[in-house]
Structure 1
């Protein structure tokens, strides 16, 4: 039976982390910084290493891959957007909105998994959709309920209908599509990634329901979450801007479950919300302010879950 959580996480240690102007056009969480590129990357590396250490202290297996310095990839620290792995041995490569983020797709990372004893039966490369400017950015775009084979996705310039339907067909997932909006400088804009406003764990769903303007779509999401046995923890728009929707549930080899979020996300939550999560999982909350500010992504985006089966010896 499929599991919702993985005990192996792949993370990419940055070489050239920084502000990416190509992605900033629709990622309103990114902010410029006056410090030098070297100073910024050094801060990101320190935050990254501290994050990895927190995970490892809880017995979570972390595969740390060094970012290749050339070509420069400012967002390599967010590998969850370009690939996902599945318990049937499939690896999916995704079509990326930003041309400079397409450089992050590395065959050697897939080879590293194979050499590490993971079974890869099929690599499904969806990057051909980029030719038609159609995008689907991995588990940024897709919130997967792996046990119930339900996929939640908010439409945006990084999450298009055609590749979304293609994914749901080839992977046999029921698709729950909706619009999710946020107010930026007085204007409503689509939320660029679903994982900014929504997280689904084994027992819990953390979601900014108020960002879904259509009452019919909002109700459909709620019904599916409840039908699949999730305890819904609503977050506010303000909390979403602190990355409170950007969480991931992981487990260690003993099967103990943890909800990983940034320190900023944790600090934005109420005592009642924290207690609701802690009823089911322990919380791990690394401080990653530089990565959040310049990268416009948070803790969940930094972790690519490895669900591939191990090769039987």
Structure 2
């Protein structure tokens, strides 16, 4: 997780992210920092090991208003591979320049990096793919799910599948209630070890059945509505392992309140529900709990 020291409304990403709102209050950075620290505290108390990347100490470092969402520019594999992704907004590309700091953070925690793959990084000539925002990955069955958008180009999804040794990609459209593409796949769906949450309503009928059939091969599918997706970030959740061998299903307080009692009962079979109070980060940043977390699958040294 990355401390949001530069957090602010990002005009460059607001062009296609319908969830961002320009705030009236002036202290959004302070509010976001407080929400972040509380989130780290709650995750740690729940038994999740959290690695926090702090402020960039380079004197001329570019401002990174969306740095609190690191899963878009970096991901890791159990093989030790680290992947750096090409970002759509110019001011988000500076986030990937912090790879040396992240590498040091991994080293301090005795994690082994066995290869670095730049799918694009800061190179704007490559097709865009924004990490595990663009892709929701079934790591158990080696299937990658991705909804098309200007931030998720199908050719780059296929590059990821080929280069990282995944079995296949399931690529589809996901359309909001306003008729626009959802900016990221992880807003409309999430995959746990034995369950999946998805807004089937967002997927056009011609592709819907094939996506749901693939998900249902290995998991209990929990269907959420467009209203739950857009108003409460119910699709932007993540299952995490805890130190005692258990798991928690992490979401925002908004998402927890947006799920029905039946849906909560379904998810509670797979882990304790953990709600993070992040209203400012959601409202101004346009991303939720899952976006704030870049999972670490790297092996121990």
What is the TM-score when the length of structure 2 is the normalising length? 0.95
- 1:87: Cα distance to partner? 0.1
Q: Which one of 119, 122, 134 corresponds to residue 141 of structure 1?
A: 134
Match status 1:235 vs 2:200:
no
Query: Which residue of the partner structure matches residue 93 of structure 1?
Result: 84
User: 2:81 and 2:234 mapped to 1: Cα distance?
Assistant: 30
Match status 1:79 vs 2:73:
no
Query: Which residue of the partner structure matches residue 21 of structure 1?
Result: 11
User: 1:129 and 1:165 mapped to 2: Cα distance?
Assistant: 20
SS at structure 2 position matched to 1:87: coil
Query: Which residue of the partner structure matches residue 288 of structure 2?
Result: 298
Structure 1 spans left out of the alignment, 5+ residues? 1-10
- Whether the 8 Å contact between 2:86 and 2:124 is mirrored in structure 1 is no
Match status 1:308 vs 2:298:
yes
User: 1:129 and 1:155 mapped to 2: Cα distance?
Assistant: 21
Flag the structure with more relative contact order, 1 or 2, with Cα contacts below 8 A and sequence separation at least 6: 1
Query: Which residue of the partner structure matches residue 225 of structure 1?
Result: 215
Query: Which residue of the partner structure matches residue 249 of structure 1?
Result: 239
- Whether the 8 Å contact between 2:94 and 2:122 is mirrored in structure 1 is no
User: 1:128 and 1:41 mapped to 2: Cα distance?
Assistant: 26
Question: What does residue range 53-202 of structure 1 map to in structure 2 within 5 Å?
Answer: 53-68=41-56, 70-105=61-96, 106=98, 107-127=100-120, 130-132=123-125, 134-173=127-166, 174-184=168-178, 188-202=179-193
Query: What is the aligned residue count?
Result: 294
Higher normalized strand content (fraction of residues):
1
- 1:217: Cα distance to partner? 1.6
What is the TM-score when the length of structure 1 is the normalising length? 0.91
User: 1:147 and 1:46 mapped to 2: Cα distance?
Assistant: 35
SS at structure 1 position matched to 2:170: strand
User: 1:20 and 1:192 mapped to 2: Cα distance?
Assistant: 14
- Give the aligned CA root-mean-square deviation in angstroms: 1.2
CA displacement 1:84-137 (0-9 Å, x = unmatched): 000001000000000100011112112321332111110001116843362100
CA displacement 1:146-187 (0-9 Å, x = unmatched): 010000000000000121110010112210000000123xxx
User: 2:37 and 2:127 mapped to 1: Cα distance?
Assistant: 34
Distance of aligned partners of 1:57 and 1:129 in 2 relative to their CA distance in 1, 3 Å threshold: closer
SS at structure 1 position matched to 2:2: strand
